[in-house]
Amino acid sequence: MPAPVPPGFTRGPIMFMGPLTEEQPFARMLQSFWDEAGGYGARILIVSTAASDAIHAERFRRWLVAAEVEWVELLRADDRRAAHDPTLVNLVESATGILITDGNPLRFVGLLGGTPVAQSIRRVNARGRVICGVGQGGAVMSQHMVVAADAPAGAESPLTPALIRFAPGLGIVNRMTVDCDGEAGTNIRTHLPRLLTAVAYNPFLIGVALDPDTGVVLYANSILEVFGAGSALIVDGAHIEECNLYDTPLDQPFQIKGVEIHTLAHGDMYSLDAHEVKRPPESEIPQAGYEKYTSF
């Protein structure tokens, strides 16, 4: 569960980014995180537990150093014993921004789940610090983490109860689940069936999938804002009228009615409370000649 917000504090932004593939969008996306974390005064902790993700973590570190943050550190936790180290907990507590880059969500939560480091990550977000997950690192921030069932590469997935399973994530947010596979972006044939199945199991959830070089940020007022070059797929089960998943065999198709599906682009907003799309306010600044997207 997300940590309770102490009196006098406002919960910090929770950012999810799709895979960062191109150099210019990479800089734009990191600029958004840099802004939320405090700009030049930012103290950034990069959290990664997968050895294969070391190259990506170093790429983020180099960009943040060049952006002249106050400091940037890598949190190294090779086993659960390390995640109980008070030194690492103090490092989390000192950061103004946490960047999760792990490419193996199950390994990540297996090492950090329930440890003092995980608890402190939730606490600092409740006290106003920004938490950001990149690529498959975004999946671990949900309380209900979607784990895709094994399927042949490129195969179209039938809508069956066995399509996904849930695993416990870090619990930074409990109202959203983010489906990440690191490759397909918002490909309808991959993410939509999985997110439909997720909200069928738990209509309280709002499912999200992100194109590469695209992100969403959830603010304390429960408004989700899209930023970046591509699209965000939103699947909301709050208004489900009928679903027979509960009595459908695991390998058989199930029926679901009343799900709301949206594809949103840069600047679009979605209210998790009202369950509706909110358009950005009209700007009086001429847009001709401006880049396709900017930092917010």
Res. 287: pLDDT tops 60: no
Residues 118-175 pLDDT 10s: 999 999 999 999 999 998 889 999 999 998 776 544 456 678 999 999 999 999 999 9
What pLDDT, on the 0 to 100 scale, is given for residue 177?
95
- On whether the CB atoms of residues 121 and 98 are closer than 8 A, the answer is yes
Q: Strand runs (DSSP E) across 97-213, as ranges?
A: 97-100, 130-134, 144-148, 164-168, 176-178, 206-210
By three-state DSSP, how is residue 107 classified?
A: helix
Region of 154 on the Ramachandran plot (φ > 0 left; ψ -120 to 50 alpha; else beta): left
Average pLDDT of span 246-273: 95
Res. 292: pLDDT tops 60: no
Res. 86: pLDDT tops 80: yes
What pLDDT, on the 0 to 100 scale, is given for residue 196?
95
Average pLDDT of span 55-70: 93
Task: Return the domain boundaries, the chain.
Answer: 14-274
By three-state DSSP, how is residue 210 classified?
A: strand
Res. 284: pLDDT tops 70: no
What pLDDT, on the 0 to 100 scale, is given for residue 234?
97
Residues 197-232 pLDDT 10s: 999 999 999 999 999 999 999 999 999 999 999 999
Average pLDDT of span 47-53: 74
What pLDDT, on the 0 to 100 scale, is given for residue 152?
46
Rounded to whole angstroms, the Cα distance separating 295 from 146 reads: 29
Res. 290: pLDDT tops 50: no
What is the CATH topology of the domain spanning 14-274?
Rossmann fold (3.40.50)
* From 31-35, 104-108, 261-265, the region with the lowest mean pLDDT: 104-108
